[in-house]
Amino acid sequence: MTSLANVLPRRAPSVLPGFGPALGFTLSYLGLIVLIPLAALVLRPWELGFAGFVAAVTEPRVLAALRLSFGASLIAAAINAVFGLIVAWILVRYRFPGKRVVDALVDLPFALPTAVAGVALTALYAPNGWIGSLLQPLGIQVAFTPLGVVVALTFIGLPFVVRTVQPVLQDLEREVEEAAASLGASRLQTMVRVILPAILPALLTGFALALARAVGEYGSVIFIAGNMPMVSEIAPLLIVIKLEQYDYAGAAAVGVAMLIIAFAMLLVLNLLQRWNRAR
């Protein structure tokens, strides 16, 4: 008679001492670091009541700040998806003098304090700055406008796309491109039908990381944005203002609204990634 142990599949041996302790440690760590703070954030604004919560997050100033934060983050992440792919392609496919320097400069937004980046960008794009003085005669003002917010978020989000796509491009064999060319595919067809489908999951991941990073950015934006209510005021700054006014429930309400919108956007991106893998 066959025993139950012989029928059930055996779990592959793991490097960790056991599944139970490892799972318990993982859940405990995530609970302390992620779930408990998020639960406190979600529970705090409910002292206003549901009607008070809705009123707090639908104020015109709050809606304008949320629209700017998420709209600018989406634009910056889309820009980084395009130009980050180009930078990663050049770093992987070509050899040129100073390549290592360029590769190191990609990581500069990681190491540079965000406040320093904000001051530097403001100095460059102010009307009397090096770049701003060139744009001023054209009627283009970057600093102290929503465009400045997009510039700052693009600066801090570029490394996420480059470093996510770069390893995938390195693993993509050149023989695949040569095979497509031998079958009569043009360079554009090779890029669209061969290379892009292979790197699309990594590109979507980089886009999601850049988007998530941009939504919560504060230090590099407050200097170049101008912080004018209803014009160039971002949601994280509005949360800080409410905290300084001791409106803790209102600040938590804005935070919960940002959490819900960010979770919905990341969920859509994850569904797109799953759909792309299932194709």
The yes-or-no verdict on residue 17 having pLDDT over 80 is: no
pLDDT at 30: 86
pLDDT at 36: 85
pLDDT at 175: 76
- Burial class for 173, CB neighbours closer than 10 Å (0-12, 13-18, 19+): exposed
Rg (CA), the chain: 24
Higher pLDDT, 88 or 189: 88
Decide if 37 is inside a domain.
no
Decide if 170 is inside a domain.
yes
Decide if 10 is inside a domain.
no
Q: Which run of H or E residues covers position 265?
A: helix 248-278
Question: Phi/psi of residue 231, each to 5°?
Answer: -125, -65
Decide if 2 is inside a domain.
no
**Neighbour tally for 38: CB within 10 Å:** 13
Decide if 29 is inside a domain.
no
Give the total number of structural domains in the chain: 1
Residue 206: both structure tokens together: 């980089």
Decide if 16 is inside a domain.
no
- Beta strands, E only, the chain: none
Task: Assign residue 269 the CATH number of its domain.
Answer: 1.10.3720.10
pLDDT per residue as tens digits for the range 194-243:
888 888 889 999 999 999 899 989 988 998 988 888 999 999 999 999 99
Q: Which residue type does 156 have?
A: I
Decide if 35 is inside a domain.
no
The yes-or-no verdict on residue 1 having pLDDT over 60 is: no
Higher pLDDT, 128 or 8: 128
What Cα–Cα distance (Å) separates residue 184 from each residue in 7, 181, 188, 194? 52, 5, 11, 13
Residues 253, 108 contacting (CB under 8 angstroms):
no
Q: Which residue type does 250 have?
A: G
Domain residue limits at 114: 50-278
Residues 161, 84 contacting (CB under 8 angstroms):
yes
Residues 241, 218 contacting (CB under 8 angstroms):
no
The yes-or-no verdict on residue 244 having pLDDT over 50 is: yes
Average pLDDT over residues 62-84: 95
pLDDT per residue as tens digits for the range 122-141:
999 998 889 988 998 888 99
**Global confidence as pTM:** 0.85
pLDDT per residue as tens digits for the range 153-174:
999 999 999 999 999 988 887 7
Query: 97: left (phi > 0), else alpha (psi -120 to 50), else beta?
Result: beta
Decide if 69 is inside a domain.
yes
